[in-house]
């Protein structure tokens, strides 16, 4: 009788273990963030150069600050964006007025560069709705496919964009992602991660950016990529990355 009872307990216990260990979109993303940024990003400043401009992100527990600076015909331009909404511009250290229309354009431009630079950390944003939509192999290596959509209330003007991130089952690295967008006539893009390197124990990577025909379902892009049917559009190379403690 005692043996029978023990068997029942064991049979009941192990299914519970299986449920606890099952991966979800949230757990996969959290493990990916930890793989890239094991010490977190709070109270850190990260600066880098992208093409002809310099960028930085400062993260605190209650806010984050994005900056962009570059030399223009008007002088040395410095843009600052607080919590992705409060934009200001200086030229040669003097504040200038910016119309709402141009402030929105500058905000979108700065946000775009910094968003992709901080993948996968930005996937923890409350506006990002994560769904595990399947599994995919890239050249025999297994990946989870995580779909990201955004709530209208907190998702900004691009809340209707859709993303799929392919996260490695082995390292939890984001080696590929695809997205569609509607601004500027819309489009579909696919990115392949390259040049992974750790700086102060934080992992950063660059990308090859591929153009995809508008209307292509994001889930079908891995097959097109592996068949060599995507056209390289550009390379996203971030240089002179530096990390400092605030």
The residues facing 10 across adjacent strands are none
List average pLDDT for each run of 10 residues in the chain, which is 246 residues long: 42 43 92 97 97 97 95 96 94 96 94 96 93 94 96 59 96 97 86 97 98 95 96 97 97
List b or e across 147-174, with b for residues whose CB sees 16 or more CB atoms inside 10 angstroms. Answer: bbebeeeebeeeeebebbbbbbeeebbb
Q: What angle do CA 23, 26, 29 make, to 5 degrees?
A: 95
Distances (CA, A) of 236 to 1, 66, 126, 129, 184: 67, 19, 26, 26, 20
Distance CA 108, CA 13 (A): 51
- Per domain, the residue ranges of the chain are 31-245
**The domain defined by 31-245 carries CATH number 2.130.10:** no
Question: What is the model's pLDDT at position 184?
Answer: 73
The model carries a pTM of 0.87
* 131 and 145 Cβ atoms separated by less than 8 Å: no
Question: What is the model's pLDDT at position 12?
Answer: 43
CB atoms within 10 A of CB 246: 9
State pLDDT tens for residues 135-157: 999 989 999 999 999 876 654 55
Question: What is the model's pLDDT at position 4?
Answer: 43
Edge to edge, the sheet with strand 162-168 lists 128-138, 141-150, 162-168, 174-181, 187-199, 202-212, 231-236
Question: What is the model's pLDDT at position 161?
Answer: 85
Is-cis flag, bond preceding 214, omega within 30?
no
Spatial CA neighbour of 24 closest among 160, 147, 137, 173? 147
Question: What is the model's pLDDT at position 182?
Answer: 81
The structure tokens listed for 3 are 């043996």
State pLDDT tens for residues 80-113: 999 988 999 999 999 999 999 999 999 999 999 9
As a whole number of Å, the end-to-end CA separation of the chain is 64
Distance CA 88, CA 243 (A): 24
């Amino acid at each position: 009788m005692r043996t029978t009872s023990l068997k029942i307990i064991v049979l009941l216990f192990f299914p519970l273990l299986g449920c606890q260990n099952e991966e979800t979109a949230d757990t996969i993303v959290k493990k990916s963030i930890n793989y890239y940024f094991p010490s977190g990003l709070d109270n850190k400043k990260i600066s880098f150069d992208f093409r002809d401009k310099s960028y930085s992100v400062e993260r605190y527990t209650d806010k984050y600050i994005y900056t962009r600076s570059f030399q223009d015909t008007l002088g040395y331009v410095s843009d600052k964006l607080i919590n992705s909404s409060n934009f200001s511009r200086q030229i040669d250290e003097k504040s200038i007025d910016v119309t709402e229309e141009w402030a929105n354009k500058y905000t979108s431009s700065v946000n775009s560069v910094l968003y992709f630079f901080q993948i996968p950390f930005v996937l923890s944003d409350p506006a990002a709705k994560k769904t595990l939509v399947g599994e995919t192999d890239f050249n025999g290596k297994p990946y989870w496919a995580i779909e990201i959509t955004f709530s209208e209330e907190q998702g900004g003007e691009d809340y209707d964009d859709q993303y799929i991130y392919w996260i490695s089952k082995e390292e939890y690295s984001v080696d590929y992602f695809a997205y569609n967008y509607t601004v500027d006539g819309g489009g579909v893009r696919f990115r392949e991660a390259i040049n992974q390197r750790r700086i102060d124990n934080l992992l950063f990577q660059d990308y090859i950016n591929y153009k995809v025909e508008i209307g292509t379902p994001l889930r079908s892009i891995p097959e097109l990529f592996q068949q060599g049917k995507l056209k390289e559009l550009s390379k996203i190379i971030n240089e002179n990355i530096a990390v400092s403690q605030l």
